[in-house]
Amino acid sequence: MNEDQNIKSSLSEERVFDPPQDFAERCGGVWVDSMDTYRELHKASIEDPENFWSTVANELDWFEPWTKVVDWNPPDAKWFVNARTNVCHNCLDRLINLGHGDEPALIWEGEPSGDDGPEVKTYTYRELHAEVCRFANGLKSLGVGRGDIVTIYMGMVPELTIAVLACARIGAPHSVIFGGFSASAIADRVEDAKSRFLITCDGAWRRGAVVPLKAQVDQAATMTDKIETTIVLRRCDNEIDMRVGRDHFWSDIVADQPDDCPCEPMASEDMLFLLYTSGSTGKPKGIVHTTGGYMVHTYLTSRYTFNLRPGHSHVFWCTADVGWITGHSYIIYGILQNHVPTLMYEGAPNHPEPDRFWDIIERHKVTHFYTAPTAIRAFMKWGDEHPRKHDLSSLRVLGTVGEPINPEAWMWYHRMIGREQCPIVDTWWQTETGGHMITPLPGATPTVPGSCTLPFLGIDAAVVDSTGRELPPNEGGLLVIRKPWPSMLRGVYGDRQRFIDTYFSAVEGMYFAGDSARRDDQGNFWIMGRMDDVINVSGHRLGTMEVESALVSHDAVVEAAVVGMPHEIKGTGIAAFCTLSGDYTPDDALRGQLRAHVAEEIGPIAKPDIIRFTDALPKTRSGKIMRRLLRDVAEGKESTGDMTTLEDFSVLAKLRGDQE
């Protein structure tokens, strides 16, 4: 936690929006239809989680039943103990067996838009099943087996979903790396996971340009010797090098493969995937998710949070990248299990024009749209004329995720996109939680702009002080989850101590999320922000120390301190303060070089918005950088609070004077 964490509770909001009168009618029914039903279900789910979760789990297929629903030994949870299942089976085979094989499962739209419009591909459950099986067989032919961690570094192409499901099918945990990360980020993750297999593309389309993914992989392979085999999908036909013996084309390994491949019967607690996320240290951590609990939790949250009603012509579109947890849970696993087609879009929201998203919604008749506040703020800025050009009347439910949504953006989303007819579900959760934790249920919960409202069924969320005492309304404190939930992380890969220290040490026996929050008089949760050195840039999580390490790895930088600062579109921007070695001139050219260097080291999302050069950083007498002061400087605020430990007051004065 920050040495200078200072909890404010200044948020307040009077506007409340009840679910629209005709919501059930427009959706073909509603799962949770009133606050009374919600309260009843929530109470029952907390009092008897075994009964609640086993009822849900029984809607899915299991190869062997569980002997116990949950085994909780803080910090270790086991769900559906001794049961066997396969998540890919529940996403595809189960629905085919139920007679839905010829219905659409995955709709994909490419970014380039020619004279005939963009490329669109639709896969039925049967077609997707066949592709997944062929690729799964291809993986096996290269020696991938149960338990082998497979790294996936691809653009948003349908083969990404196919690769993820194929891994799940054969019991090889996947570790998806966001396509915007750099070669050294790939190398770090491959090294940590000891992953011998890597799937990539020649390139990815982004705003009309090709991002050369394979070249990044080649560079990563010079930094780690773990990568033994790569599979390369041709997407952009850009020039690539293929190393004989290591690199194989996707098309070659699936050629002649049978379109059936049995599912591995996985134990509930077998690892389904690893997903790296940022924490307070420089090193990203591999969050471990397992099979049974994750499957059940993403199934139920998809169904209830979005009120998915199979058979009612829904099209679900989550705009996240599969490289983040949102894409894992709500593009692939949760939505496919629910027998609702999931839409995947390859490219940028403003290519070729800033109305691309609204155009997609109109053409595909999207009913459920799930995006991030940062995107909403960008749309607001681009202007109302873009959504106004399109018929958005197919929409039923809108969602947001990733960062707090400011009430102004919420209201714009509600009026301009939802035309005041679509409930907004502001879903609070994390990579670590696997699925939604606090969220409105669209047919029941009155929504309040800026609040993620109430805990999901089965989730015992609370705001407490460091002794675990629940705080009264309107008092800010630590956001914790007091009881286990099925999709909770099972560990930090290869680092037991970090798992315990990060999540189970702040408050005895409870999961601490890293966020501060308060509840209002109605019990609604208001997320106040991170309490650790994690910043949320455009909904992407970054550790300030990761960016600092990247900066100091440049010859010019002796010391660096990075803090978040308010940013109109990104929510939080990155401000970096650097001291330089004597040989370098503090000018804009160097600023440009450092920004490019950070992009090289981590990825473009981590580029600082402002870089200030300084002779020294403000420190306490014990040598700790006083980030609170730097945050104030970045925000242009006068510093208040305790400065008595500041080693050298003149440092602060100089920092204020130094304009970029």
Site for ligand PRX, rule CB under 6 A: 277, 325-326, 401-404, 426-431, 452, 513-515, 527, 530, 536, 541
Nearer to ligand PRX, 326 or 614 (CB): 326
Locate 110 and state its tokens: 């490419």
Instruction: Give CA–CA dist 285/473, Å, rounded.
Output: 34
Nearest distance in Å: CB 287, ligand PRX: 8
Nearer to ligand PRX, 233 or 325 (CB): 325
Nearest distance in Å: CB 492, ligand PRX: 13
| CB-nearest residue to ligand PRX | 431
Q: Which helix (H) or strand (E) holds 334?
A: helix 334-337
Instruction: Give CA–CA dist 321/331, Å, rounded.
Output: 9
Instruction: Give CA–CA dist 580/585, Å, rounded.
Output: 8
Nearest distance in Å: CB 529, ligand PRX: 7
With H, G, I as helix, E, B as strand and everything else as coil, classify residue 508. Answer: coil
Instruction: Give CA–CA dist 651/409, Å, rounded.
Output: 38
Nearest distance in Å: CB 344, ligand PRX: 17
With H, G, I as helix, E, B as strand and everything else as coil, classify residue 630. Answer: helix
Nearest distance in Å: CB 437, ligand PRX: 9
Nearest distance in Å: CB 439, ligand PRX: 8
Q: Specify which residues 586 forms β-bridges with.
A: none
Question: How many CB atoms are located within 10 Å of the residue 20 CB?
Answer: 17
Most distant CA pair in the chain, distance = 74
Nearer to ligand PRX, 359 or 426 (CB): 426
Strand intervals (E) in 246-358: 247-249, 266-267, 271-277, 285-290, 316-318, 342-345
Question: Residue 154: what are its φ and ψ, rounded to 5°?
Answer: -135, 170
Of 614, 418, 348, nearest in space to 19 by CA: 418
Nearest distance in Å: CB 351, ligand PRX: 24
Q: Which helix (H) or strand (E) holds 295?
A: helix 292-305
Nearest distance in Å: CB 560, ligand PRX: 23
With H, G, I as helix, E, B as strand and everything else as coil, classify residue 64. Answer: strand
Nearer to ligand PRX, 109 or 426 (CB): 426
Nearer to ligand PRX, 130 or 506 (CB): 506
HSE-CB of 21 using CA atoms within 13 angstroms: 0
Nearest distance in Å: CB 438, ligand PRX: 8
Instruction: Give CA–CA dist 598/548, Å, rounded.
Output: 9
Of 299, 219, 266, nearest in space to 58 by CA: 299
Instruction: Give CA–CA dist 71/63, Å, rounded.
Output: 20
Instruction: Give CA–CA dist 386/417, Å, rounded.
Output: 11
Q: CA dihedral in degrees (188, 194, 199, 203; nearest 10)?
A: 10
Question: How many CB atoms are located within 10 Å of the residue 388 CB?
Answer: 11
Residue 642 sits at the vertex; the CA angle it makes with 641 and 648, to the nearest 5 degrees, is 120
Q: Are 272 and 238 in contact (CB under 8 A)?
A: no
Residue holding tokens 């397992």?
Answer: 290
End-to-end CA distance of the chain: 29
What are the C-alpha distances in Å from 131 to residues 127, 138, 255, 429? 6, 10, 11, 32
Nearer to ligand PRX, 161 or 400 (CB): 400
Nearest distance in Å: CB 511, ligand PRX: 12
Nearer to ligand PRX, 271 or 527 (CB): 527
Nearest distance in Å: CB 515, ligand PRX: 5
Nearer to ligand PRX, 387 or 404 (CB): 404
With H, G, I as helix, E, B as strand and everything else as coil, classify residue 52. Answer: helix
Nearest distance in Å: CB 449, ligand PRX: 12
Nearer to ligand PRX, 305 or 614 (CB): 305
CA 304 to chain centre: 19
Instruction: Give CA–CA dist 256/291, Å, rounded.
Output: 30
Q: Are 193 and 171 in contact (CB under 8 A)?
A: no
Nearer to ligand PRX, 110 or 514 (CB): 514
With H, G, I as helix, E, B as strand and everything else as coil, classify residue 577. Answer: strand
Instruction: Give CA–CA dist 556/613, Å, rounded.
Output: 11
Nearer to ligand PRX, 217 or 275 (CB): 275
Nearer to ligand PRX, 392 or 513 (CB): 513
Nearer to ligand PRX, 158 or 373 (CB): 373
Nearer to ligand PRX, 324 or 577 (CB): 324
Nearer to ligand PRX, 478 or 651 (CB): 478
DSSP for residue 468 = -
Nearer to ligand PRX, 49 or 435 (CB): 435
Instruction: Give CA–CA dist 168/332, Å, rounded.
Output: 12
